[in-house]
Structures are given as C-alpha cells and as structure tokens.
Amino acid sequence: MRRNLLTAILYTLVTTVLLGIGYPLVITGLAHLMFRDKANGSLIKLDGVIVGSRLIGQTFTGPGYFRSRPSAAGTGYDATASGGSNYGPTSRKLVDRIDGDVQALSAEHPGQPVPIDLVTTSGSGLDPDITPAAAAFQVRQVARARHMSEAEVRVVVSRHTLSRQFGTLGEPRVNVLALNLDLDGKSK
C-alpha cells in the first residue's frame, strides 16, 4: 500500500511538471516562433505606437470613420468585461436601444435598410468586424466626410473584406480598425 501511494504521488508530481509547466512553455515558445503576430494579440502598431488589435473592436465616432458593432462589454470594447448584455428578445431595454439605433442610422441613411450588425452586439461585445453589407451601408457617409468618391472607398472596403475561413467557416467580414487605418493613410 505504501509503495502504491508513493508511486501515485510521484506520478502526480511528474505529470504536473511535464503537462502543467513543460507543455505550456513549449507550446507558447513555438507559438511565438511560428506565429509571432498572433501569439502577441495581433496588435496593430502605427509609428511604433500600439493603436489596437485585430481581435478587439473599438469605438469610432467621427463622420469619416466606419463604425463598429455596438458593444455591451463594460463601457464599450472593454476586454476585462467581455460578454453580452444578456437581454433577451422580449427585453424592453434591448428593443428600445435597437429601435433608437435604427432610427438614428435611418436618419443618416434615408431609404436604406439598416444592417442588423450595426444595431446588435456580438456575444463577447468585442467583435472587431462588421459584415460587408454594414460596410457598404456606410460608404456614402465616409466618402462624403473624407472628400473621396464612393468608388474609391469601395475599393478600400473590398481590400479589407475577408472571405469565409477555409471557404466554409464563418461569414465574410471587414475588420473596422484596419479599414479605418487604411483610409487614414489614403486621405492624408
């Protein structure tokens, strides 16, 4: 019995060190060697300063910028408060907020149907992407504010439109931060 207990304790210690410390260190090291950008959070730097991540949305409010999805994470895109609002489809607060957002966007874009992702939050509240339809919805306003033609803005949007992963996973999407940074470079 004593020998079995000693074997169990030794096996627990060895597997803890190997699988709890060694394996994660090896995998983290390989990730940093093989996928440096992704292993470090897909950070975007501009003139040596981190301006965001490809993985976390940001709030853009200026008229010359594409807007992200609304966020329910903390005060907006707060990664420490990630999560949806947990309001259900019958929640008066949710319905009122969406109605208000639809009315505001409809006033800015008369006659155009408002894409759903511009008025609803994602499950995490941190989604950095919008649908191509949401980007197309905003082209006229962004082009006007930046004194560009709509065709020029559409070219930039198409450059940032990513298709489904492996041709089947997910939906086509546009990363809002990358798109807005590209436009900032275009309009200077």
DSSP secondary structure letters along 102-134? HHHHHHHSTTSPPPGGGTS--SSS---EE-HHH
Q: Residue 187's pLDDT is what?
A: 47
Q: Are 31 and 90 part of one and the same domain?
A: no
Range with the poorest average pLDDT among 23-27, 36-40, 116-120, 130-134: 36-40
Q: Are 109 and 160 part of one and the same domain?
A: yes
Q: Are 34 and 58 part of one and the same domain?
A: no
Q: Are 117 and 158 part of one and the same domain?
A: yes
Q: Residue 188's pLDDT is what?
A: 39
Q: Angle, nearest 10°, between helix axes 150-159 and 132-146?
A: 140
- The token duo for 173 is 């999407």
Residue whose token pair is 């093989």? 34
Residue whose token pair is 């090291």? 29
Q: Are 35 and 7 part of one and the same domain?
A: yes
Q: Are 48 and 35 part of one and the same domain?
A: no
Q: Are 109 and 138 part of one and the same domain?
A: yes
Q: Are 93 and 171 part of one and the same domain?
A: yes
pLDDT digits 0-9 by tens, 19-69 = 999 999 999 888 888 887 777 777 777 777 877 778 887 888 888 899 888
Q: Residue 135's pLDDT is what?
A: 93
Q: Are 47 and 138 part of one and the same domain?
A: yes
pLDDT band at 137 (very low <50, low <70, confident <90, very high): very high
Residue 1 pLDDT exceeds 90? no
Q: Are 36 and 49 part of one and the same domain?
A: no
Residue 83 pLDDT exceeds 70? no
- Using DSSP's 3-state secondary structure scheme, residue 11 falls into helix
- Selection from 137, 145, 121 nearest residue 61 by Cα: 145
Residue 186 pLDDT exceeds 70? no
Residue 77 pLDDT exceeds 80? no
CA–CA separation, 51 and 43 (whole Å)? 8
Q: Are 31 and 62 part of one and the same domain?
A: no
Please state the pTM of the whole predicted model. 0.74
Q: Are 46 and 120 part of one and the same domain?
A: yes
pLDDT band at 122 (very low <50, low <70, confident <90, very high): confident
Domain with 149 in it: 42-187
The mean pLDDT value of the chain amounts to 84
- Selection from 169, 168, 114, 104 nearest residue 136 by Cα: 114
